[in-house]
Amino acid sequence: MIAIERRTFLSLLLGSAVAPAFSGAVHAAGPLKGGTLVAVINPEPTVLTSAVSNHYSVNVVSPNVYDGLLSYDHAMQPLPSLAQSWEVAPDNLSITFKLRPGVKWHDGTPFTSKDVRYSVLELWKKLHPRGRTTFASVTDVETPDERTAVLRLSQSSPIILGALSAAESQVLPAHIYAGSEPAKNPANLKPIGTGPFRFVRWNKGEYIEFERNPDYWDAGKPYVDKLIFRIIPDAASRAAAFEVGEVQYGPFDPVPLADIARLKQDPKLAFTTQGYEWLSPIFTFEFNTQDAITGNVKVRQAIAHAIDKQGLIDAAWYGFGTVATSPIPHYQKYFSKNLPAYPFDPAKANALLDEAGFPRKDGGVRFSIFFDYESNTDALQNTAEFLRQNLKQVGIDLKLRSQDTPTLYKRVYTDYDFQTRAGQFSAMIDPAMGLYRLYWTKSIAKGVPNTNGARYSNPELDKLIEITQSNPDPAQRLAAFEGWQKIAMTDLPNIPLFELQRLTVYSKRLRGIPDTPDQAFSGLKDVWLENGA
């Protein structure tokens, strides 16, 4: 029997049911085996494990190589994966996992509890941007035998059981990583996992190739013999690859949003915006709070009023989004309506900039600031230009700097050499998992991507964060969430611009794609090709 602390875990459930979206019909004789599944990913991942970087491109590819302790169903209830069962102690201060026997790493080494211990203590707690928060209460991992791992907690944690998927918390091989500098380990580029596919090769700038793991513990899976992720930087070329059948699957807006209406006329292709609910992605305008200009809260509030958020969604994202009024998406149970609001109001923005001590100079310009963003999609380029025009109207000269992902990450998280930037973050199904890395003082981690690059710190907000991390009482958590939303929307270390609506494109030949809220990050072991395997 699987014992779960349902009282706390149920607080993670989505605000609404998820309807099936993908073509998952089963062939009369069952799923067909064989063939090569070609997917597309953009931008190219920097590594192949989320323990080092949790950029969405990494999280799309790496769950095909690695497993988590748990997987999740359509209601985000936990299911067995590397852990066959788990039990939360009555005092909520330990979680005992019984591990699946007979599992081997791709190099033939047996998987044991030592791998779990190493992954939790050395990778998830220290390197993973969200894991530093999620597993903050874990003080030790005991391994009484090879099939038992016991997480010892300093305080109750309502979020751990919702964060153990193959994308979020990958179990990595201790015998490969121990004694090394994990962020620089060669296995980050040539991964050795327990998952359904084994790494074959990575031709940088071209493709990443995997083959079926014949020893995978989930008998009979995966169904396809090969899995290839093609790297196609040009958006028009990605669209063409779908049209001619060269690729069969692509998550996270693989084609230009401007082309969606035309591509929907293609009878070979299907589209869905489902499979991202677990992530709850938010697009933000982030500030360096230590900068002489953007460190001024009135400047940040003025910029919030100067941005036409609905206009941005319509012009740059073709309507694929909802205006955000909080870091927490409007459909989640912890969302608060009683927050400081920043409607589009250039007059208010001008008044705040005057109060902040930045009057207009010759030519009407108050000051110039840099805006950094990734250059991998037309939507991001159009976003940057739209924001530049908005801020120009209130006397701010927004200087645009586009760059690839590694360059941006170094600039923001290592050198802190930025003033403003575009950010795409996941709130997750519980904000304690996804958002605190942007606000918590303890999440200022030089060199660690997708943490508190703004270097924002507020002791009052820190206290509220720690309440929601450890207090299992729903009412007290709700009150603390409301309190930190108010502070976050007053101090504005980042402006939540809109709730992203991501898009997956796939061939109608593709069957078996799950309808779970975390589908985009759940790997492709259940997928098979109809008529042509």
Please determine, for residue 10, whether its predicted confidence score (pLDDT) is greater than 60.
no
Token representation of residue 248: 């069969």
**pLDDT, position 15:** 31
- CA–CA separation, 59 vs 67, rounded Å? 12
Q: Is residue 290 part of a domain?
A: yes
Q: Which 8-state DSSP code applies to residue 110?
A: B
pLDDT in tens, 488-519: 999 999 999 999 999 999 999 999 998 899 99
pLDDT grade for 23, boundaries at 50, 70 and 90? very low
Please determine, for residue 9, whether its predicted confidence score (pLDDT) is greater than 50.
no
**pLDDT, position 29:** 61
- CA–CA separation, 176 vs 107, rounded Å? 10
Of the listed ranges 13-17, 29-33, 195-199, 413-417, the one predicted with least confidence: 13-17
Q: Residue 74's closest CA among 275, 353, 285?
A: 275
Which residues touch 194 (CB under 8 Å, ≥6 apart)? 66, 67, 82, 103, 104, 105, 106, 111, 171, 217
Please determine, for residue 19, whether its predicted confidence score (pLDDT) is greater than 50.
no
Q: Is residue 135 part of a domain?
A: no
Please determine, for residue 60, whether its predicted confidence score (pLDDT) is greater than 60.
yes
pLDDT grade for 469, boundaries at 50, 70 and 90? confident
- CA–CA separation, 497 vs 374, rounded Å? 17
Q: Is residue 111 part of a domain?
A: no
**Overall number of domains in the chain:** 1
Q: Is residue 240 part of a domain?
A: no
For residue 479, which amino acid is it? A
Q: Which residues span the domain enclosing 361?
A: 281-500
Which residues touch 30 (CB under 8 Å, ≥6 apart)? none
- How many other C-beta atoms lie within 10 A of the C-beta of residue 357? 10
Q: How far apart are the first and last CA of the chain?
A: 38
**pLDDT, position 16:** 30
pLDDT grade for 395, boundaries at 50, 70 and 90? very high
Please determine, for residue 430, whether its predicted confidence score (pLDDT) is greater than 80.
yes
pLDDT in tens, 270-280: 999 999 988 89
pLDDT in tens, 125-166: 999 988 988 999 999 999 999 999 999 999 999 899 999 999
Of the listed ranges 87-101, 227-241, 458-472, the one predicted with least confidence: 458-472
- CA–CA separation, 364 vs 200, rounded Å? 58
Block residue for tokens 């660690």: 448
Look up the CATH number of the domain holding residue 456. 3.10.105.10
- CA–CA separation, 344 vs 335, rounded Å? 21
pLDDT grade for 338, boundaries at 50, 70 and 90? very high
Pairing of strands 504-507, 94-99: unpaired
Pairing of strands 249-250, 321-323: unpaired
Q: Which 8-state DSSP code applies to residue 112?
A: -
Please determine, for residue 22, whether its predicted confidence score (pLDDT) is greater than 80.
no
Question: pLDDT exceeding 70 applies to what percent of the chain?
Answer: 94
Question: pLDDT exceeding 90 applies to what percent of the chain?
Answer: 84
Instruction: Give backbone dihedrals phi and psi of 152, rounded to 5 degrees, phi first.
Output: -95, 130
pLDDT grade for 5, boundaries at 50, 70 and 90? very low
Q: What is the average pLDDT across 208-235?
A: 97
- How many other C-beta atoms lie within 10 A of the C-beta of residue 343? 12
- CA–CA separation, 150 vs 172, rounded Å? 17
**pLDDT, position 440:** 93
- For the chain, what is the mean pLDDT? 92
Distances (CA, A) of 229 to 24, 117, 210, 475: 21, 31, 9, 45
Q: Is residue 328 part of a domain?
A: yes
Q: Is residue 390 part of a domain?
A: yes
- CA–CA separation, 241 vs 249, rounded Å? 10
**pLDDT, position 433:** 86
Total residue count of the chain as it appears in this document: 533
Q: Is residue 460 part of a domain?
A: yes
Q: Is residue 425 part of a domain?
A: yes
Please determine, for residue 533, whether its predicted confidence score (pLDDT) is greater than 60.
no
Q: What is the average pLDDT across 48-74?
A: 95
